[in-house]
Amino acid sequence: MKVYQTDEIKNIALLGSKGSGKTTLAEAMLFECGVIKRRGTVEANNTVSDYFPVEKEYGYSVFSTVFYAEFLNKKLNVIDCPGADDFVGNAITALNVTDTGVILIDAQYGVEVGTQNIFRTTAQLKKPVIFAVNQLDGEKADFENTLEQMREIFGKKVVPIQYPIQSGPGFNSMIDVLLMKKYSWGPDGGVPTIEDIPEEEMEKAREWNQALVEAAAENDETLMEKFFEQGHLSEDEMREGIRKGLVDRSIYPVFCVSALKDMGVRRMMEFLGNVVPFVKDMPAPKDSEGREVKPDSNGPLSIFMFKTTVEPHIGEVQYFKVMSGTLNSGADLDNVTRGGKERMAQIFCVCGQIKTPVDKLCAGDIGATVKLKDVRTGNTLDEKGCDYSFDFIKYPAPKFQRAIRPVTESDAEKLSAILTRMHEEDPTWEVEQSKELKQTILKGQGEFHLRTLKWRVENNDKLPIVFEEPKIPYRETITKAARADYRHKKQSGGAGQFGEVHLIIEPYVEGAALPDTYRFGNQEFKMSVRDTQEIPLQWGGKLVVHNCIVGGAIDARFIPAIVKGLMDRMEQGPLTGSYARDVRVCIYDGKMHPVDSNEISFRLAARNAFSEAFRNANPKVLEPIYDVEVMVPSDVMGDVMGDLQGRRAMIMGMSSESGFEKITAKVPLKEMSSYSTALSSITGGRSSFTMKFASYELVPGDVQEKLLKEYAEKATED
């Protein structure tokens, strides 16, 4: 295989909503380039992209697939990404290591929520975008309506390169307004017939050509001057103008294809080969120190590992991008992220599960390797003397979680290793060993995302697992002051145990003055603060302890043990066993025994005194509240609103955005457990949402009563 230089390489991400036809388009592209001799189909489970067992089981993409095509003496590296919103991490990874996004739109359904979500990601990463309107031969295909939607949502930068003469089952021809030619196909697609534009289409073609020329000229002052002077641009001048417009996102070209019948695919690939930016045309990425790293084949060698898969008979396959320099097989590199050395014994160009060994890859190229010792997704490998390190991929917060455990408890360690490996393959699968909840929490982008992991663990690793409802990380606090004392006394022959603690607790308020006087009934308690400990709690809030003991009632050496006793109860609150927070404690009196007093005695006395005072301080349970943002089509707005209100949501606002309705709300985490599934059911999968932690708020009285009752019943059982 030829060694391609940096100025011969183009990296492209294939994107779009679920069902838009990306896998089918990838097959057509590979067929047109001669990489495969026969196109596979999703139904037959024989496509280059979807080759993992779980993808064949579900019938659509779960992982991104890397493939390359040699076309017009250039190398096109393409990453075909899953369309389901649950697997958005793959698309985010792909866009970070490629230079152009080709977004497919199903002509039958127009711009979907998933389309908008991925477009927003391209905007955040400042990546060029090309739209391909696919399935123009579908029963409900409507190109004009789809184009109108695109312009309404994405703006006037949407500029068609082509338009179909007829969309729907009769689609078999289109007008290319860049080349000013008519393309037509037989019933089975394939090689087109290229002709002059018929007279009845000429007026429309000229109008659309003029719009394209103007859009191309806008991106270059020289071209603009030529356009004003001549009224037209040559084909090469238009290509240059479009390329510049792509780089600065001032133009979004639109192509017409039927991937299933291979209509328009080769023409789109010609555009990819001739017009879209090379690696060198794009702004240079920055390393973790903020330094620009240009894709220079003669520069210091640095590669970024962006993807890991585990394949049968091979094991771990690591995918990388050469950020700088030239990588030769057999190169010895330093893992600057984890430490240690690695030898790149073999490097490959990849086309799905087909791996072609190569001797070298230049800056900007994408490849794969196997059998590395200790490399993880996101690591940077450099040659000696180079200190680049990359950390530019940012993933969205999880939206769905379940507690996970093996059916057989003895398999816990095995499951932990599997989950670690799974996270390497898809970083949006997050695993948390929760000390607080005493559960292993698996987090992801949706129910199907987690169900896919479960299928793989049970079918590939042969380990039965159970998903359970995760416990909610409630918090406990108090709303008024209370006093209590407790004597711990134990005598069992020999040295005994004795400790007595008197304390007052009250809500902690930032910036509050030191305690002075408390009144409970007819008794008044004056405080004289000798010492203060302010303990920030890992789970939020504070515990503040004032030592107000006078006259040596408790020796200073027992104060740390008393604080430990208080922390015992802060870590396991008296109401529900949840973490407690924001409490101020005054230890003002107590008793000790010259022989029997010890640390454990005072720790137990403090723990029990605190529990009693806490229950008398009008305690409240707090629950985590999340900011939720939902994007929905207007026709289901009422249903979605009703569902949210049934989840105790507080609606904060509503607005229209790019043809969709946006609802912002504050919702208790408890009510978000199955929200992704419910929202998909209500809207037919035409919606999306994001959620992030906002604050802890008081639970309603009826909810608190229920929680206390459940905890009491469980304590009785235990």
Residue 84: predicted pLDDT: 84
Q: Is residue 509 located within the same domain as residue 588?
A: yes
Domain count, the chain: 5
Phi/psi of residue 510, nearest 5 degrees: -55, 130
Mean residue pLDDT across the chain:
91
Identify the DSSP state of 55: H
Is 295 inside a domain boundary?
A: no
| Residue 608 amino acid letter | N
Q: Is residue 105 located within the same domain as residue 26?
A: yes
User: Does residue 188 have a pLDDT over 90?
Assistant: no
Is 126 inside a domain boundary?
A: yes
Is 223 inside a domain boundary?
A: no
Task: State the CB neighbour count (10 A cutoff) for residue 359.
Answer: 11
Contacts of 671 (CB under 8 A, 6+ apart): 647, 648, 649
Q: Is residue 485 located within the same domain as residue 467?
A: no
Q: Is residue 24 located within the same domain as residue 106?
A: yes
Q: What is the DSSP string of 633-696?
A: -GGGHHHHHHHHHTTT-EEEEEEEETTEEEEEEEEEGGGGTTHHHHHHHHHTT--EEEEEEEEE
> Which pair of structure tokens corresponds to residue 582?
């924001």
Is 392 inside a domain boundary?
A: no
Residue spans of beta strands (DSSP E) within 528-592:
531-536, 542-547, 579-580, 583-591
CATH number of the domain within which 265 lies: 3.40.50.300
Task: State the CB neighbour count (10 A cutoff) for residue 269.
Answer: 20
| Partners of residue 499 on adjacent β-strands | 488
> Which pair of structure tokens corresponds to residue 373?
């010792």
CATH number of the domain within which 674 lies: 3.30.70.240
* Residue 52 pLDDT level (bands cut at 50, 70, 90): confident
| Residue 209 amino acid letter | N
Is 711 inside a domain boundary?
A: no
| Residue 555 amino acid letter | D
Q: Is 388 helix (H, G, I), strand (E, B) or coil?
A: coil
Is 292 inside a domain boundary?
A: no
* Residue 213 pLDDT level (bands cut at 50, 70, 90): confident
> What whole-number distance in Å separates Cα of residue 545 and Cα of residue 543?
7
**Portion of the chain with pLDDT greater than 90, in percent:** 73
**From 192-196, 215-219, 381-385, the region with the lowest mean pLDDT:** 215-219
CA distances from 283 to 131, 232, 292, 332, 530 (A): 22, 30, 9, 29, 61
Residue 560: predicted pLDDT: 96
Structural domain ending residue among the three candidates 553, 587, 618: 618
Q: Are 7 and 59 in contact (CB under 8 A)?
A: no
Q: Is residue 26 located within the same domain as residue 129?
A: yes
Is 24 inside a domain boundary?
A: yes
CATH number of the domain within which 482 lies: 3.30.230.10
**Portion of the chain with pLDDT greater than 70, in percent:** 98
**From 229-243, 490-504, 627-641, 692-706, the region with the lowest mean pLDDT:** 229-243
| Partners of residue 622 on adjacent β-strands | 475, 698
User: Does residue 596 have a pLDDT over 80?
Assistant: yes
| Residue 103 amino acid letter | I
Is 552 inside a domain boundary?
A: yes
How confident is the model over 239-282, as pLDDT tens digits? 888 999 999 999 999 999 999 999 999 999 999 999 999 999 99
Q: Is residue 546 located within the same domain as residue 489?
A: yes
pTM over 0.75, yes/no: yes
Q: How far is CA 434 from the centre of its chain?
A: 21
Q: Is residue 314 located within the same domain as residue 444?
A: no
Q: Is residue 453 located within the same domain as residue 550?
A: no
Q: Is residue 505 located within the same domain as residue 581?
A: yes
The residue segments making up the domain with residue 694 are 622-703
Q: Tokens 């409507």: give the residue.
A: 142
* Residue 687 pLDDT level (bands cut at 50, 70, 90): confident
> What whole-number distance in Å separates Cα of residue 125 and Cα of residue 63?
21
